[in-house]
Chain A
Amino acid sequence: DGGITQSPKYLFRKEGQNVTLSCEQNLNHDAMYWYRQDPGQGLRLIYYSQIVNDFQKGDIAEGYSVSREKKESFPLTVTSAQKNPTAFYLCASGPGQKNQPQHFGDGTRLSIL
Chain B
Amino acid sequence: GENVEQHPSTLSVQEGDSAVIKCTYSDSASNYFPWYKQELGKGPQLIIDIRSNVGEKKDQRIAVTLNKTAKHFSLHITETQPEDSAVYFCAASRVVHRSGTYKYIFGTGTRLKVLA
Main secondary structure of the interface of A (DSSP, over half): strand
CA distance A103 to B97 in the complex (A): 19
Chain A residue nearest in CB terms to B43: A104
**In the complex, which residues of chain A have a beta carbon less than 8 angstroms from the beta carbon of B100?**
50, 96-97
Q: Is B106 touching A40 in the complex (CB atoms < 8 A)?
A: no
The stretch of A13-21, A41-49, A68-76, A77-85 in contact with B is A41-49
Q: Is B106 touching A104 in the complex (CB atoms < 8 A)?
A: no
Interface of B toward A, CB cutoff 8 Å: 4, 6, 9, 31-32, 34, 36, 41-46, 49, 51, 89, 93, 97, 99-109
Q: Is A50 touching B101 in the complex (CB atoms < 8 A)?
A: yes
When A and B form their complex, what is the total count of cross-chain residue pairs whose Cβ atoms lie within 8 Å? 70
Chain A interface residue bracket vs B:
20 to 34
**A42-B4, A42-B108 are known contacts. Are A97 and B99 too (CB-CB below 8 A)?**
yes
Q: Is B103 touching A45 in the complex (CB atoms < 8 A)?
A: yes
Q: Is A42 touching B107 in the complex (CB atoms < 8 A)?
A: yes
CA distance A41 to B99 in the complex (A): 29
Q: Is A99 touching B97 in the complex (CB atoms < 8 A)?
A: no
**In the complex, which residues of chain B have a beta carbon less than 8 angstroms from the beta carbon of A101?**
34, 46, 49
**In the complex, which residues of chain A have a beta carbon less than 8 angstroms from the beta carbon of B99?**
50-51, 96-97
